[in-house]
Structure 1
Amino acid sequence: MSEFGELLRGWRDRLSPVDAGFTATNGRRAPGLRREELAQLAGLSVDYVLRLEQGRARNPSAQVVGALARTLQLSRTERDQLYRSAGLLPPRDGTISTHIPASIQRLAVRLGDVPIGVFTADWTLVWWNAMWCSLNGDPSALPAEQRNLALALFGNNGPALPPMETERGLDVFEASIVADLKDAVSRYPADGQLDRLVQHLRAESKAFAHHWVTEFAARHTSEQKTFHHPDVGEILLDCDVLLAPGADLRMVTYTAATGTTDAGKLDLLRVTCAQTTGAGNHVLPGPRGTRAIDAGR
């Protein structure tokens, strides 16, 4: 077994299935996550995870290592150790991190009955739960580089947002996203991917270019959004953006007041979600969701 495989196996055994979003049962023999559970959450095939653990697959990509580090809820130091054991350089300082601390993942798992998405500083979606899929569509259907809110808002050929209306209006919503990207550029000047995103959108979108040169900076506040959902119709939800300053992450949540019609519609989505996934609190983390791949081929 290689060093990478030993680390993978040890950290898999350490992680509680409950903290990963699974229901613990008395019949479990594995002390932590089962191999198939790790594979599902990281978006890899079970065979590929087995070969990684046994040392038969020796060149995992940075994307695969990042997905495994997030799924295993590693600390930043442990994440860097996993990268080095794979012969890769850890993510550089001065660039946007996709690392999600274990505490943030545990919090999100325990709030699994509401739609939750976790975004990086450039508004790239890196973690979501099953309820997020029920409300917004399944992000795993998109390539990882296209799971970006700014691309959805301003790109001509990128992903589309679900049909919805915002309480303060689309223009204010757009301005707030651009203000966040401007702030990210000032704090992460070495991030080439962020620079390419901004240059692409400035060239492609007149609205983005206008907001970019406007001094007005719209700040995120709690607001209501109306979704036009294909299954439950119009649903009005409170949208909150919770910041994790130390990790520079944004956790977006959608809730409805108890006893309202909208809460009933959210309950209906929850039931549909449970029937589809087999567990209403099952987590679908980025970057590849539940779409299993064999990255070794």
Structure 2
Amino acid sequence: MARAEFGRAVRRWRDRIPPEAAGLPAGGQRRAAGLRREELALLAGISVDYVTRLEQGRASHPSTQIVEALARALRLTGTERAHLFQLAGLAPPGPETVPAHLTPGVQRLLDRLTGTPVAVYDAAWTLLVANPPYVALMGDTSGQRGNERNGVWRNFVGQGSRVRHTPEDRRAFEAKLVADLRTAAARYPADQRLRRLIADLRAHSERFAELWDSGAVGHHEATRKTVDHPRVGAVTLDCDVLTVTGSDLRIMVYTAEPGTEDASRLALLTVLGTQTLAG
């Protein structure tokens, strides 16, 4: 790997992104207009120490997942992303793997929904990026790694989410998750990470294995969800999942009916969350 050039490229692209363009507060004294290392680390979901070592050419062989996360956080174009992979000595992921690149159009959409909880998942329900209102609503995701960032894993093996489910709703929701994962596995049969995820789920969740073997089918539709928030209480919101044609990215959007108590609580928790991030 061309370590020095990789580090220079990351630093150069980091310097060109103002924090407000990445949905971060721009307060405080700054020596440069771009992102700080700790801000890039937060956006990419990696440690500040690792970002420092990468930029200084002291870290070797970053994984495909790390390079992909940096490309998203740095808002690289398709050409720039391919160049970063080449500098890391890696081949850019091909069409046989689950897409994880955020197109400029998707990124602009996120930029315009600054007051709305929005998260982007890939076809296997792995979280790629969540904006500050989504983090305020659903909790901090910056410390999640590997399978922890996957929504199917979180619901079958992990701690679940703040969304309230009745037993009947829960069963239907689980069936839809498994069906989505089955569709992704059929579309991207060569994706090794996806195959490992399915194997891990089968090994750790009898319920997942049962649904997987039964051939459970279903698909996500617009629905209303109640989120039990630790600071503002229960918030009932409309949840829409938009699929990006050509990349299978899933954009999850939570909105409240204007003028309702739920809208007031959503606005309050968004402010509280932003203040926490700024602090």
TM-score, normalised with respect to structure 2: 0.85
Contact 1:117 1:253 in 2 (8 A): yes
What is the deviation of 1:239? 0.4
**Following TM superposition, by how much is the alpha carbon of 1:82 offset from its aligned partner in structure 2, in angstroms?**
0.6
Q: Is residue 74 from structure 1 mapped to residue 83 from structure 2 by the alignment?
A: no
Aligned partners of 1:115 and 1:129 also within 8 Å: yes
1:183 positional shift: 0.7
Higher mean C-alpha deviation, range 65-74 or range 84-93:
84-93
Higher alpha-carbon deviation: 46-55 or 135-144: 46-55
Among the aligned pairs, what percent are the same residue? 48
Shift in Å, 1:249:
0.8
Gaps of 5+ in 1: 280-297
2:100 counterpart of 1:114: no
- State whether residues 83 and 90 of structure 1, in contact with CA within 8 Å, keep that contact through their aligned partners in structure 2: yes
Aligned to 2:197: 197
For residues 228-267 of structure 1, the aligned pairs below 5 Å read: 228-267=228-267
Aligned residue in 2 for 1:6: 8
Q: Is the 8 A contact 1:18 1:24 kept in 2?
A: yes
Supply the AA of the counterpart residue of 1:20. Answer: A
Name the CA distance, whole Å, in 2 between partners of 1:93 and 1:192: 13
1:143 maps to a residue whose letter is: R
Gaps of 5+ in 2: none
Tell me how far 1:273 sits from its aligned partner: 0.9
Q: Give the equivalent residue in structure 2 for 1:95.
A: 97
Which residue does 1:127 correspond to in 2? 129
Describe the shift of the 1:15–1:103 C-alpha distance in structure 2 as closer, same or farther (beyond 3 A): farther
Aligned position for 1:220: 220
> 1:45-84 residue pairs with structure 2 within 5 A?
48-84=50-86
The alpha carbon displacement at 1:222 in A equals: 0.7
Q: Judging changes above 3 Å, is the alpha-carbon distance between structure 1 residues 32 and 139 closer, same or farther for their aligned structure 2 residues? A: closer
Matched residue type, 1:78: E
Out of 239-248 and 95-104, give the one that drifted further: 95-104
**Deviating more after overlay: 143-152 vs 210-219:** 210-219
Q: 1:4 to 1:203 in 2, by over 3 A?
A: closer
Alpha-carbon spacing, 1:96–1:214, altered in 2? closer, same or farther (3 Å): same
Deviations 1:64-90 (A, max 9, x none): 322211111112332121111122333
Counterparts in 2 of 1:210 and 1:232: CA distance versus 1, 3 Å: same
Using a 3 Å threshold, how does the CA distance of structure 1 residues 225 and 80 change in structure 2: closer, same or farther? Answer: same
Contact 1:62/1:88 (8 A) holds in 2? yes
Match of 1:275 in 2: 275
Partner Cα separation in structure 2 for residue 200 and residue 47 of structure 1: 30
Q: CA deviation at 1:58?
A: 4.6
Q: Distance in 2 between matches of 1:83 and 1:14?
A: 19
> Aligned letter for 2:220?
H
Q: For residues 64 and 100 of structure 1, what CA distance do their matches in structure 2 show? A: 15
CA contact (8 A) 2:147 2:153 kept: no
Contact kept, 8 Å, 2:23 with 2:132, in 1: the verdict is no
Equivalence for 2:174? 174
Distance of 1:165 and 1:263 partners within structure 2: 21
Q: State the TM-score, normalizing by the size of structure 1.
A: 0.80
Code of the aligned partner of 2:103: P
The answer to whether the 8 Å contact 2:19/2:35 transfers is yes
Distance 1:50 1:240, change over 3 A: same
Shift of 1:200: 3.2
Match of 1:290 in 2: none
Q: Note the C-alpha offset of 1:240.
A: 0.5
Deviations 1:194-240 (A, max 9, x none): 12222333354343334334456322111101122222222111001
Query: Residues 21 and 109 of structure 1 are in contact (CA less than 8 Å); yes or no, is this contact kept in structure 2?
Result: yes
- Tell me: higher relative CO, structure 1 or 2? Use CA pairs within 8 A at least 6 residues apart: 1
